[in-house]
Amino acid sequence: MAETLLMGAVAYDPKVVTIWDGFKVYFAEQGLDFDFVLYSNYERQVEAHFGGHFHVAWNSPLAWLQAERFAKRAGRAAHAIAMRDTDRDLTSVVIVRDDSTIKSVNDLAGKKVGVGAADSPQATLIPLLHLAEAGVTPHDDFEVVRFDVDLGKHGDHVGGERDAAKALLDGRVDAACLIDANHLGFSKEGTLPSGATRVLAQTKPYDHCNFTVLDGAIEDARIKRFRELLLGMSYDDPKVRPLLDLEGLKVWKDGRTEGYALLEAAIDRFGTIEDFLAGLGKRCM
């Protein structure tokens, strides 16, 4: 391993550069030599992580499961070492037009349901699992209409959900799936006019991103220092606050993995990452 602690992150938006450049400066001031590598998609990032190209990954929940499952198959171990407070206990909702005849989940049979990118936990996988468990199976019982803005970004880009919400208002789909925070945001900004839509279903809470390390890296002094610095970042520090605001959190929390149970059930049901794991197995084992 090189001297510098290297982090991998996915460039889902140009602001990602601003965010991690800011963290780099902050870590340098605290005496931690930190740098980052950006990937255009999570699959390439997960593969590079197993290839030893960097030490810690800022992973989407789906990328975490990709890493965790591949680690298991390869006899290795993945650890979630930290996450944002805002990564915990998210929910997603399925909404319909307020005047819709759809009153319950079962009424979705034969309808069109708008979702985000195929690999979006929050706007596709978890809400579709919720519907499936409630009795309507995607593709079999209702049509799934995808709003793929950027495949490989695991739904980090908000565009897919916005497109789905607009399609719902336009009548191109009968229901739309989105994360609760976007539902709040779209309602406040007027993308979803007050009273125009109704929440049909809400998923159980689940967790989102985390910092992932592999194998013995969890004992590495630089990783320990990195985690310690993250957890020590306080919102009352004027140097830290702009970074936290940019990255959308108030405080870093310990990593926890119980919150990925819903997504695990979803990918088991839909076979979302099987092809990726098989391909990765051929290349990396």
Partner 1 sequence: MSGEAARKACARLDLADLGFDRGAHMLVARALSGIGVGETLDVCGRAPALGVHLRAWCRQMGHPFQTLGDDSEIGGDIVARIARGDVEIKRWAGAQRAGHPDRDRDDAVSEHPAPRWGLAARGALVEDSAPAFSFGIDHKHVVWTEEAPRLYAQAAAAQWDPATAIPWDAPFDIPDDVEDAIVQVMTYLVENETAALLVPARFLAQMHPHFREILQLLAIQAADEARHIEVFTRRALLRREVLGLSTAGGQASLKTLVDEPDFALAMFLLSVLGEGTFLALLWFLHRNAPDPVTREVTKLAAQDEARHVAFGLAHLSRHAELDKTLHARLALAVEQRHEALMQTAGLNSEVFDALVLLAAGEFSPEAIERGYQAVMTLQQEMDVGRRKRLAKLGFDDAEAERLSALHTRNFM
Q: What does the binding site for partner 1 look like in residue numbers (CB under 8 A)?
A: 85-86, 88-91, 93, 180-181, 183-184, 187-188, 192, 194-195, 198-202, 234-236, 238-239, 241-242, 250-251
- Minimum gap (Å) between residue 225 Cβ and partner 1: 24
Query: What stretches of 41-80 show up as alpha helix (H) in DSSP?
Result: 42-50, 61-73
Residue-wise DSSP of 137-186: -BTTTBEEEE--S-TTSTT-STHHHHHHHHHHHHTS-SEEEEEHHHHHHH
The residue among 21 and 85 lying less far from partner 1, judged by its C-beta, is: 85
- Minimum gap (Å) between residue 29 Cβ and partner 1: 15
| Closest to 166 (Cα-Cα) out of 97, 228, 261, 67 | 97
The residue among 84 and 227 lying less far from partner 1, judged by its C-beta, is: 84
- Minimum gap (Å) between residue 245 Cβ and partner 1: 9
- Minimum gap (Å) between residue 209 Cβ and partner 1: 14
Phi (first) and psi of residue 219, to 5 degrees: -95, -5
The residue among 14 and 238 lying less far from partner 1, judged by its C-beta, is: 238
Indicate if the alpha-carbon torsion angle 61, 63, 64, 68 is positive or negative.
positive
The residue among 3 and 236 lying less far from partner 1, judged by its C-beta, is: 236
**Strands, sheet with 197-202, edge to edge from the N-terminal-most edge strand:** 143-146, 112-115, 175-179, 92-97, 197-202
The residue among 229 and 267 lying less far from partner 1, judged by its C-beta, is: 229
- Minimum gap (Å) between residue 82 Cβ and partner 1: 17
